[in-house]
Amino acid sequence: MMKKLVSMLFMLSVMLILTTQTGQAAAVPKLFLNGNALSADVEPRIVKGYTMVPVGVIADGLGFGVSWDAATKSARIHNGQTEMILTVGKITAVVGGQSVQLEAPPLIEKGRTMLPLRFVGSQFGLDVHWDSATKSVSLKQPEPSPPVTGPEPSPAAGYIQDIGYDGVSRFTIAYDGVVTPSEMLVLKGPDRLVLDLPNTSFGVSFAPGTPSGEATYTVDGHPALNSIRYSAHAGKPVRIVFDLAVPTSYEIEQTDGQLIIDVKYPEPGAVPSPGTDGSGNKIYKVVIDAGHGGKDPGAVSVTKRQEKEFNLAIALKIKALLDKEPRIQPYMTRSDDTFVELADRATFANNLGADLFLSIHANSFRPEITGTETYYNRESSRAFADVMHKHLVKATGLPDRKVRQANFAVIRRTTMPAILIEAGYLSNKHDDSVLAKEEIRDRIAKEMVSGIKSYLKLS
């Protein structure tokens, strides 16, 4: 009798375990980021107690850059600061160049690469919480660090209440209080006028229209002006930027409570018919984007050179060569060591109505990795990437690491064919020495121009 009871209890335990495991396998975990539900094209699943999600959740839901290497079955993930490589079936990942043990190896499910969510989220600084009652994973981005406490800023002397445009050439800035504008800056690469208003802020009637503290207004019908941008951030002057299609003059008049800027029409003949060279041939607008800049140095080479300097040097060389091409008008997102937000780079190209967008970068990873890569996001950019990559590999002479698809912001948010090149790896001693040579930099610029002309069928 005792043996029979023990046997029954054993069978009951086995059935209970199997039922529990079946329930766990059938339960599809829900995903939330900062309280908002995340969707996935393939259902997340639980493997050995860990939630596995399709790579699309990492790219789109969490906003990380992801590229896929089909040859090695590896996913490379970037969050702007840290790079991670996970390989299907491998129990270790590479994070910031260091090998790290995984909770569960990546796998392929219904043609989609599945990655361990907790590992990826926590490595990139997210708070990850599993709720067993609701079978849900909640991810939360860390709160920004509180600002360093200091003396209270002085109240602004003037407040912007409105910025208006008469539809022709005059912009009127209405304000209360005292506004003393700085001298207008006339900048090139790209052409723009920049006006700072120190000790000024947005007034209560104007601020609700700019909840992020900045806005862009597209200008139609002005032959020299593409858009006007304005911003106000704590501790900084109000900045107003006029993005120009061509260099032009201006006049500023200040009356009681008004600042009037008249952006002049260019002289007759200074601007050809829209999109042509005056003979009916299309003029192509090409945006050259020198990655990083200012407070963002990018990668640092083994010889302590900063990527931002390499990017700008190449970009300036490309622009100088394109300036000699009668049917190409080059523009630059930055022409000096200044920081430009990723979104602003894409917005500039989109507002310009550019035909092509080329972002210049150099890579960094493990010291043994070497070679040249070209990235695109949308399929409509693939042909441009293929053409430019052939020329880039020819210029550097480094190993060909192929054309890859990725989710980088500047090539995702732009609307024209857009690519991002990684000329080589600054973390590799050989690549670093190659990219430091002036003749190689000249060759890269020359080949990039040749690639652009080839793609546009101008050669």
Six-digit token string for 407 = 């989710």
Contacts of 250 (CB under 8 A, 6+ apart): 184, 193, 242, 261, 262, 263, 264
Grouping H, G, I as helix, E, B as strand and the rest as coil, residue 282 is strand
- Helices 438-455 and 382-396, packing angle to 10 deg: 150
422 is catalytic: yes
User: What letters, b where the CB count within 10 A reaches 16 and e where it falls short, cover 53-72?
Assistant: bbbbbbbbbbebbbbbeeee
Six-digit token string for 406 = 């990725």
CB atoms within 10 A of CB 419: 27
Is the CB of residue 28 less than 8 Å from the CB of residue 43?
yes
Contacts of 443 (CB under 8 A, 6+ apart): 395, 396
CB atoms within 10 A of CB 274: 10
The 3 state secondary structure assigned to 113-165 is: EEEEHHHHHHHCCCEEEEECCCCEEEEECCCCCCCCCCCCCCCCCEEEEEEEE
CA dist., res. 73 & res. 90, Å (int): 10
Is the CB of residue 78 less than 8 Å from the CB of residue 68?
no
To which residue do tokens 């092509």 refer? 356
Phi and psi at 47, nearest 5°, equal: -125, 120
Catalytic residue among 422, 438, 439, 447: 422
**Residue-wise DSSP of 341-379:** -HHHHHHHHHHHT-SEEEEEEEE--STT---EEEEE-SG
- The phi-psi region of residue 276 (left if phi > 0; otherwise alpha if psi is between -120 and 50; otherwise beta) is beta
Catalytic residues: 422
